[in-house]
Structure 1
Amino acid sequence: MTTSYLKTIFREIKRSKARFLSIMLIIFLGVAFYTGIRATGPDMLQAADDYYAQQKLATNSVQSTAGLTKQDLAVLHRHRNQVTYQAVKYLDINQLNNNQAVRVAEMPTKQRVNQLTVVSGRLPRRANEIVLDQQARTLQPHLKLGATYKIATTQHLNKAFNRRTFTIVGFVNSPRYIEKTTRGVTTVGKGTLDYFAFVQPGTLTQSAISRIDIQFKNLAHVTPYSAKYRRLNRANTALLKSWLKPRAAQRQAQLQRQASTQLAPKAAEVKQLAQQLPANSPILRRAQAEIKQAQAKIAAIGQPTYLYTGRAANPGYSEYHENTQRVVALSTVFPLFFIAIAALICLTTMTRMVTELRIQMGTLKALGYSNLAIGSEFMLYGGLASLLGTVLGVGFGVNFFPRFIAQAYGSMYNLPAINVQYLWLDILIALVIALTCTMGSAAIVLRVDLHSGPATLMQPKAPKAGKTLWLEHWHGLWRRLSFNHKVTLRNLFRYKQRLLMTVLGIAGCMAMMITGFGLKDSIGDISLKQFDQLWHYDAIVVRNGTQTAQQRRALHHQALYKDDLVLKQAQVTVERSDVANQTATLSVPQQPQRLKKFVVLRNRQSHNAYRLNHHGAIIDEKLAKLYHVKVGDQLPVKLGNRATKHVRVAAIAENYVNHFIYLSPQYYQQLFGQKVVYNGNLVQFTQHGQKAQDQFASDLLKTSGMLNVTLLSTEKQTNFQMLDTMDLVVIIFVVAAGALALVVLYNLTNINVSERIRELSTIKVLGFYDHEVTLYIFRENLILTVMGILLGCFLGDWLHRYILNTAETDSLMFSPGIHPLSYVYSALLTLAFSLLVMWLMHRKLKRINMLDALKSVD
């Protein structure tokens, strides 16, 4: 290839700057979106992997129904070459002064696993110092460094502390809880923890160890969530169980010995009493009966159950992985739209370029240049645009999109900022796709022309023949159309390729904008539907047992009180090996016929109401989706430490936030084999002022036996604080789609003008004003834009449904509908881009050199 020929290529690039830049920009957008979104999931996973390794997150945990002892630690000590372990003592309490459930744990002397991250302040050094979960500061803004923190719970639990007043010296995050709001379940208060606290050893009076956290050394350098990690973790769990298996019988014997030792003095007293009193003495017989009962209880002490859990039991751990997988799923469908549109536009652009340079191709052929040399100009032109677009796209996409999306998820998780990484395989794929779009398009277009002779190429290509339109047979309509409108319609259907490319390009952009606005609708509708249409109560009251007369009076005499429903509420775990464990609220109303006044259980599509029966449960729709169950199937449910029960699904109800299982009292008794203890109330208020509601909760908790009051206003604020960040993701969709729409319209309009420059010059010579020449093109663009908008509505509806299925979290279901206004906004934006492009074209058309255009043979 000669220097002169290279100069020709670069001269062509300079001459057609707009076309070259438009191809480069199309490739830039496609590559940026593809590589950026593709890198987001791995970047988020890498951030979690680094955090887990840095903070030494435990791979396994062990608990026991009878508590753990030093003998259990001794077993693990014998295998210290395989594991690192740490004993944890904790106690869950319900703070009566602020209505929150707190886990108070003793700080290990040395943090071997689950190392805390200090957000502010420092770790405790003295007995009167305490550090709190960062979440505590969010829930109680008045908690600050140096402030006094007091444990104020029930009299029984107060005795479990050697000290109950502390000075706050720090706020921390724990790798056990990477999710900002969720802290797991508990047996106190409302059933879920609000935050945790750490104190110095010796603060708790209990001797038993609550939990042993373990880190297997063979997993230290294995990527979390990977198949290898899951395989090794299964083997490690089996190994751990085999180590501790003998401990159940040993612990049983130990408990029996301890109980016998405590009983021995009393038994000796009764034996001594038998020597002093006659055998038929009532006092002696009563004492002997008590001893026999105590001995029977000792004999009945069974083997404790050892509970083994992995990282998946930590709130947020599994969900974080699922969120990254959703991003990965999005990274496959969205870039396809960009790539498909880029391929279409590049095909159209290269077709026009080949048509423009036919005479040059014929001249080169006549001078003896080979087909390879002639075609290389187009290949280099497209290849250079692709290469520059790819380099710029990778640089922008990999550095922008992962940080932007991770920031949206960052409001949900306590994880460090991500470090971007270049995934070279994806970058190579993006480059190949980009080169295929341009060079492949050029090869397709050139396949005919390169086989033509010089004489044929040096002649202008015959214009496309006009055809009679089917509209022309509609004489009544056709006669009423003006000349300009007839010309517009003929041109539209004469150039079918341009029509198809423009309509598909605009439809794709329209679809993405609809998806963006639709996501905003789906997220916003959750609040309206869940808290206004489905839930008709304002507070949940939790007691320590059956409602007493005093508790009933305390509730009914509250100024805000309107009505209430007595029910049982408990947190249950839905467990199945192929699905991440889900926590659900089990609700059993005392009067099932009154439930509809407080909770609407209905079919989401038909709105047909459901009623509780004695043959099954009503579960929420998202839970049914996760476990792939339908009416009549069985759902595995575990209540506390009891054996798993299989609940029959009687109906599937509309629900958007968290998981719920509703049972009738009769079915509950049949399922769990015991009567229902109604430990809660759903309460309706007469008014909804936040200050009055806070006072209601504060006053009610002063009543003996009242454990917790959950206000729905607070619940609503907490649940949807994180959803506000989804607006960032919506902005990505709308801005990216808008940029693509602008480039597509500009490119296609520019091609349209270039193809018809002689025609436009002719009508200018005939006396058309500048604005009339612009309208000549604009009418066609407007019709094509409207057609693209209509097709885009259908594509957008499909894409929106797909995104919802991949973007939902396990505990959340988006509302599937799109508001009519979202279609209107998307259409108006697309029209606005069309008007902007035509304004740019209008300026170009005003500068047309009519003489040069009419002298050309093209």
Structure 2
Amino acid sequence: MTTAYLKTIFREIWASKARFASILLIIFLGVAFYTGIRATGPDMSRAASDYFKQQKLATNSVQSTMGLTRSDTRVLATHRDQISYQAVKYLDVNQLNNNRVVRVSELPRQQTVNQLKLVSGRLPRTANEIVLDRQAQKLQPSLKVESTYRIVSTKALNNKLTHRTFKVVGFVNSPTYVENVSRGVTNVGKGTLDYVVYVQPKNLKQSVYSRIDIRFKNLAGVTPYSAKYKRLNRQNTRTLKRWLKPQAQKRQAHLRAVATSNVAPLQKTVTSLQNQLPANAPQLVTLKAKLRDAQAQIAAIKAPTYLYSDRDDNPGYTEYHENTQRVVALSTVFPLFFIAIAALICLTTMTRMVEELRLQMGTLKALGYGNTAIGSEFLIYGGLAALIGTVLGVAFGVNFFPRFIAQAYGSMYNLPAIHVQYLWNDIWVALAIALLCTLGTALVVLRVDLRSNPTQLLQPRAPKAGQTLWLERWHGLWRRLSFNHKITLRNLFRYKQRLLMTVLGIAGCMAMMITGFGLKDSIGDISVKQFNQLWHYDAVVTRSGNETSAQRHTISDASLYRADLKLLSKQVTIQKSGVAEQTATLGVPAQPSQLKRFVVLRNRQSHHAYALQSTGAIIDEKLAKLYGVHVGDTLTIKLAGQAAKRVTVSAIAENYVNHFVYLSPRAYRHAFGQAPVYNANLVQFNRGGEKAANAYADQLLKRAGILNVTLMSTEKKTNFKMLDSMNLVVLIFVVSAGALALVVLYNLTNINASERIRELSTIKVLGFYDGEVTMYIFRENLILTGLGIVVGCFLGNWLHAYILQTAETNALMFSPDIHPLSYVYSALLTVAFSLIVMGLMHRKLKRVNMLDALKSVD
């Protein structure tokens, strides 16, 4: 290949820079999407792995029904070569001064496991200093460093603390709580924790540990969530159980020994009195009865149950991994869909380039150049566009998309920002696809022309023969069409490849825009449907037991009050192998017939209403999907402190936020063997503002036995604030799809005009005005755009459904409906892009040199 020939190649690139730029831009968009979204899942996983390693997240935890003692820690101390551990004391408190359920946890003197990460301030140094979970500041914005924090609860709980007034010295994140909102369940107050506070040791007056967190050293360098991690973790759990197995009997023996020593004085007194008093003496009979009761209580002391858990039992830890897997699943289909459109456009573009340079190819062949030299021009042209597009696409995609998507998920998790990484396997795949789109299509197009002899190449290709359209047989319609419309239809169906490419390209872009707008609809509908259509109550009042007359008076005697429904409300956990543990609210209304006034239980599609039956439970749709249950199947639920129970699913109801299980009182008694304690009220308000609702909640909390008041207006803000960040993902879809639509339309329209430049010049010579020449092309484009929009609607529906399926979290279900306006917006944007492109084409067609265009090589 000579220097002159190389110069010719680069002159061709410069002369057709618009076409070169369009190929480069299409490759750039496709590669950026592919490498960027493919890197997002691994980047998110790596950020979590690094964080867990840095903060030394426990691999296992142990709890006991009777607490843990120094005897347990001494056993673990003998295995320090294999583990590090940390014993923790905590107390769950229902705060009466701020309507929150808080876990007060003592900070170990040395944090060897689950190290807290400071967000601001410092750790406490004295007994009257405290650090708060960062979630506390979100729920109570008035809390700041240097502010005062008071613990105000029941007298029994207050007496378990040595200090109750603290100075806030910092805010922290704990690796134990990966989720931003959830802090787990408790048997205090409303049943769920709001946040955790950390105090110095000896602030809690309890002699036993609440939990021991353990970190096995053989997992230190193993990637979390991997198959190797799971295999080693199973071995470690068995080992831990073996170490602590004798402890249950030892604890039982110790408790019995302590109880026996406490009864010893009574035993001694009875023995002494037996020698002094008659056997039927009242004093002796009474003491003997007390002794028998004490001995019976000693005999009834059972061995404690040790409860073992690992990271998989942490919902936030498990759900984060599931979200990264959803992103990976998303990256498998969506970028390939994007690249497929790019490949179609590249095929059309390279086909047109070969057609334009047909005369040059014939000249080179006549001069003695071989097929390799002639084909190299197209390979260099396409390869250079692919290479530059790939480099720019990788640089942009890997640095932009992972950060953008991780930021959307970041609002839901307490994890540091991700560090981007270049996944070279994916980058090489992207380069191979880019080269296939350009070089591959060039070779496919060249295969015929390179076999032709110079004489054939030096002559223009014969125009494609016309054919009779099926529309022409519809004589009544065809006769009514104008000449211009007949020409438009003939041209459309004459060039079937262009028709197919244009329709598919526009349909793909339309589908992605529908997906973007549809995601916005699905996210926005959650709030409307959940809080306006399904839930018809304004507050949930949680009590310590059955309602008293004083509590009834406080709840109902307010101008804000309209109606209420008593029910049992408890948090239950649901477990199944292979599915992250889920927390659901168990609801048992005192008057099942009145439930429909407060909660709508209906089929999502048919809106058929469900009623509670004497047997069976009504569960939410998302819970049914997660556990693969259908009507008639059974579901295992577990109340805190009770054995797991199985209930039959009688109906599956529409729901979008969190999980629920509803039972009738009779069904509850059948499942749990006891009568329900109606410990909560669903309260409806008259019209009133946020200030009035907060005042009502404050008034209720002053009444003894009322533990918590949850305002639905607050819940709505808390639950959906994080969903606002999902709009960033929606923006990615719309902007990217719009950019691709613009490039696709410009490229195809430019090719269409270039292919028919002689035809357009001819009608110009015949006296057509510039606007009429543009309309000659635009009518075809408009019809193709319309066909693409129709096909794109069906394709967008499928893509939207797939994205929803992969993007949902375990506690959230998106509304599957797309609003009609979203189709309208997508169609209008597509038409707008078509008009923009035709505006650019109009300027180009006005400057056409008719003499040059009409020259013939004959």
Please indicate the TM-score interval, normalised by the length of the shorter structure: over 0.9
Counterpart of 2:464?
Answer: 464
Deviations 1:503-554 (A, max 9, x none): 0000000000000000000011111111111111111111111212221222
1:44-123 to structure 2, matched below 5 A, reads 44-123=44-123
Counterpart of 1:627?
Answer: 627
Q: Is the 8 A contact 1:522 1:818 kept in 2?
A: yes
Q: Give the Cα–Cα distance (whole angstroms) in 2 for the partners of residues 807 and 688 of structure 1.
A: 36
Q: Give the Cα–Cα distance (whole angstroms) in 1 for the partners of residues 826 and 615 of structure 2.
A: 48
SS at match of 1:143: coil
Counterpart of 2:586?
Answer: 586
Counterpart of 1:159?
Answer: 159
Matched letter for residue 124 of structure 1: P
Q: Give the Cα–Cα distance (whole angstroms) in 2 for the partners of residues 51 and 637 of structure 1.
A: 33
Counterpart of 2:300?
Answer: 300
What's the CA shift for 1:342? 0.8
SS at match of 1:486: helix
Which shows bigger deviation, 282-291 or 677-686? 282-291
Matched letter for residue 390 of structure 1: T
Which shows bigger deviation, 781-790 or 144-153? 144-153
Counterpart of 1:518?
Answer: 518
Counterpart of 2:671?
Answer: 671
What's the CA shift for 1:268? 3.2
Q: Is the 8 A contact 2:95 2:153 kept in 1?
A: yes
Counterpart of 2:553?
Answer: 553
Q: Give the Cα–Cα distance (whole angstroms) in 1 for the partners of residues 230 and 553 of structure 2.
A: 54
Counterpart of 2:288?
Answer: 288
Counterpart of 2:212?
Answer: 212
Q: Is the 8 A contact 2:315 2:582 kept in 1?
A: no
Deviations 1:224-283 (A, max 9, x none): 111111111111111111111111111111111122222223333444455554432334
Alpha-carbon RMSD across the aligned residues, in angstroms, is 1.2
SS at match of 2:142: coil
Q: Give the Cα–Cα distance (whole angstroms) in 2 for the partners of residues 275 and 144 of structure 1.
A: 70
What's the CA shift for 1:311? 1.3
What's the CA shift for 1:383? 1.0
Q: Give the Cα–Cα distance (whole angstroms) in 2 for the partners of residues 371 and 652 of structure 1.
A: 67
Deviations 1:567-624 (A, max 9, x none): 1111111111111111111111112121111111111111111111122111100000
What's the CA shift for 1:692? 1.0
Q: Is the 8 A contact 2:568 2:589 kept in 1?
A: yes
Q: Is the 8 A contact 1:632 1:650 kept in 2?
A: yes
Q: Give the Cα–Cα distance (whole angstroms) in 2 for the partners of residues 57 and 690 of structure 1.
A: 40
Counterpart of 2:187?
Answer: 187
Q: Is the 8 A contact 1:588 1:664 kept in 2?
A: yes
Counterpart of 1:359?
Answer: 359
Q: Give the Cα–Cα distance (whole angstroms) in 2 for the partners of residues 270 and 155 of structure 1.
A: 37
1:345-744 to structure 2, matched below 5 A, reads 345-744=345-744
Deviations 1:447-466 (A, max 9, x none): 11111111111110001111
Distance change in 2, residues 1:603/1:19 (3 Å): same
Counterpart of 2:777?
Answer: 777
Counterpart of 1:171?
Answer: 171
Deviations 1:490-511 (A, max 9, x none): 1111111000000000000000
Q: Is the 8 A contact 1:176 1:315 kept in 2?
A: no
Matched letter for residue 568 of structure 1: L
Q: Give the Cα–Cα distance (whole angstroms) in 2 for the partners of residues 164 and 406 of structure 1.
A: 39
SS at match of 2:49: helix
Counterpart of 2:802?
Answer: 802
Matched letter for residue 518 of structure 1: G
Q: Give the Cα–Cα distance (whole angstroms) in 1 for the partners of residues 268 and 676 of structure 2.
A: 42
Q: Give the Cα–Cα distance (whole angstroms) in 2 for the partners of residues 271 and 677 of structure 1.
A: 46
Q: Give the Cα–Cα distance (whole angstroms) in 1 for the partners of residues 680 and 270 of structure 2.
A: 45
TM-score after normalising by structure 2: 0.99
Counterpart of 2:228?
Answer: 228
Which shows bigger deviation, 402-411 or 88-97? 402-411
SS at match of 2:854: helix
What's the CA shift for 1:370? 1.9
Q: Give the Cα–Cα distance (whole angstroms) in 1 for the partners of residues 287 and 547 of structure 2.
A: 36
Which shows bigger deviation, 210-219 or 473-482? 473-482
- Give me the identity figure in percent: 73
Matched letter for residue 19 of structure 1: R
Q: Is the 8 A contact 1:67 1:208 kept in 2?
A: yes
Q: Give the Cα–Cα distance (whole angstroms) in 2 for the partners of residues 857 and 43 of structure 1.
A: 58
Counterpart of 1:30?
Answer: 30
Q: Give the Cα–Cα distance (whole angstroms) in 1 for the partners of residues 763 and 672 of structure 2.
A: 87
Distance change in 2, residues 1:805/1:374 (3 Å): same
Deviations 1:281-303 (A, max 9, x none): 33432332122112111111111
Matched pairs, number: 858
Q: Give the Cα–Cα distance (whole angstroms) in 1 for the partners of residues 662 and 373 of structure 2.
A: 75
Counterpart of 1:319?
Answer: 319
SS at match of 1:480: coil
Which shows bigger deviation, 332-341 or 812-821? 332-341
Deviations 1:767-800 (A, max 9, x none): 1111111111111111100110010000001111
Counterpart of 2:134?
Answer: 134
Deviations 1:397-425 (A, max 9, x none): 00000111111111111111111000000
What's the CA shift for 1:819? 0.2
Counterpart of 2:335?
Answer: 335
SS at match of 1:337: helix
Q: Give the Cα–Cα distance (whole angstroms) in 1 for the partners of residues 172 and 818 of structure 2.
A: 41
Q: Give the Cα–Cα distance (whole angstroms) in 1 for the partners of residues 718 and 828 of structure 2.
A: 35
Counterpart of 1:10?
Answer: 10
Counterpart of 1:813?
Answer: 813
Deviations 1:623-657 (A, max 9, x none): 00001110111112121133222221111111100
* Residue 793 of structure 2 is aligned to residue 790 of structure 1: no
Q: Give the Cα–Cα distance (whole angstroms) in 1 for the partners of residues 129 and 86 of structure 2.
A: 21
Which shows bigger deviation, 756-765 or 802-811? 756-765
Q: Give the Cα–Cα distance (whole angstroms) in 2 for the partners of residues 433 and 315 of structure 1.
A: 39
Matched letter for residue 2 of structure 2: T
* Residue 754 of structure 2 is aligned to residue 754 of structure 1: yes
Q: Give the Cα–Cα distance (whole angstroms) in 1 for the partners of residues 519 and 277 of structure 2.
A: 84
Q: Is the 8 A contact 1:512 1:734 kept in 2?
A: yes
What's the CA shift for 1:675? 2.1
Q: Is the 8 A contact 1:225 1:321 kept in 2?
A: yes
What's the CA shift for 1:205? 0.4
Q: Give the Cα–Cα distance (whole angstroms) in 1 for the partners of residues 546 and 205 of structure 2.
A: 29
SS at match of 1:507: helix
Counterpart of 2:147?
Answer: 147
* Residue 816 of structure 2 is aligned to residue 836 of structure 1: no
Q: Give the Cα–Cα distance (whole angstroms) in 1 for the partners of residues 416 and 839 of structure 2.
A: 46
Matched letter for residue 243 of structure 2: W
Matched letter for residue 142 of structure 2: H
Give the gaps of 5 or more residues in structure 2: none
Distance change in 2, residues 1:856/1:190 (3 Å): farther
What's the CA shift for 1:723? 0.5
Matched letter for residue 592 of structure 1: P
Q: Is the 8 A contact 1:62 1:213 kept in 2?
A: yes
Q: Give the Cα–Cα distance (whole angstroms) in 2 for the partners of residues 652 and 198 of structure 1.
A: 41
Matched letter for residue 571 of structure 1: Q
Matched letter for residue 616 of structure 1: G
Q: Give the Cα–Cα distance (whole angstroms) in 2 for the partners of residues 752 and 820 of structure 1.
A: 33
Q: Give the Cα–Cα distance (whole angstroms) in 2 for the partners of residues 821 and 185 of structure 1.
A: 41
Q: Is the 8 A contact 1:183 1:315 kept in 2?
A: no
Counterpart of 1:259?
Answer: 259
Counterpart of 2:823?
Answer: 823
